Chains A and B, each alone.
Chain A
Amino acid sequence: EPEVTQTPSHQVTQMGQEVILRCVPISNHLYFYWYRQILGQKVEFLVSFYNNEISEKSEIFDDQFSVERPDGSNFTLKIRSTKLEDSAMYFCASIGVIYAAFFGQGTRLTVV
């Protein structure tokens, strides 16, 4: 069964460093998303991406965040200068024909 793949599963980085989280959505899906979940809190929407551009972003998704789909398969989330409060699980999701989102297993980002 096709699935959304995220790498790495766990990333530890120092505050102020740049990180790139990678996702391979399900092929032939057209809509892509990033969500995050701070430990013990709700899953929060960050950004949606369609037709090679951001279609919507939340207040969380400030200038420190960016997304791109460089090669038609990978979908990346970059955090330019990480802060302690960026520590969270980051989930990638893609949507296909039944308009249900399929999520990856997440990347646990720890900023120290």
Chain B
Amino acid sequence: DAKTTQPPSMDCAEGRAANLPCNHSTISGNEYVYWYRQIHSQGPQYIIHGLKNNETNEMASLIITEDRKSSTLILPHATLRDTAVYYCIVRPFLNDYKLSFGAGTTVTVRA
């Protein structure tokens, strides 16, 4: 699976948008970008995934660059409850559904 690079940490003000970058320069054509988060040692929580089009759901938006070498997860209005470790994971859509977690980005939302 392609490797991802994320900043180790970032702060965000409550109520503002949080933009979380992820680099995946070796992504291949059949690999999707998945985002998960983990709040204080709870089980990881699925957020969103995409292939090449931008995606939006009730939790977040995912922007994938045209060359697919990087993506940005956007939390539109961060709340204190969004404080968590966010993981960007690249994985083939079919075959081998296991997830390879890196260190992720520790996001701290401040009041």
Interface residue ranges, A against B (CB under 8 Å): 4, 6, 31, 33, 35, 37, 42-45, 48, 56, 89, 91, 93, 95, 98-106
Contact = CB atoms under 8 A, between A and B. Distances in A.
8 nearest A-B pairs in the assembled complex, by CB-CB distance: A103-B43, A43-B101, A100-B46, A45-B98, A103-B44, A91-B43, A105-B43, A42-B101
Chief secondary structure at chain B's binding surface: loop
Contacts, number: 54
Chain A contact residues, majority secondary structure: strand
B32 to A, nearest CB: 8
21 contacts: A4-B43, A6-B43, A33-B97, A33-B98, A35-B101, A42-B101, A42-B102, A43-B38, A43-B44, A43-B99, A43-B101, A44-B101, A45-B98, A91-B43, A95-B97, A99-B49, A101-B36, A101-B99, A103-B44, A105-B42, A105-B43
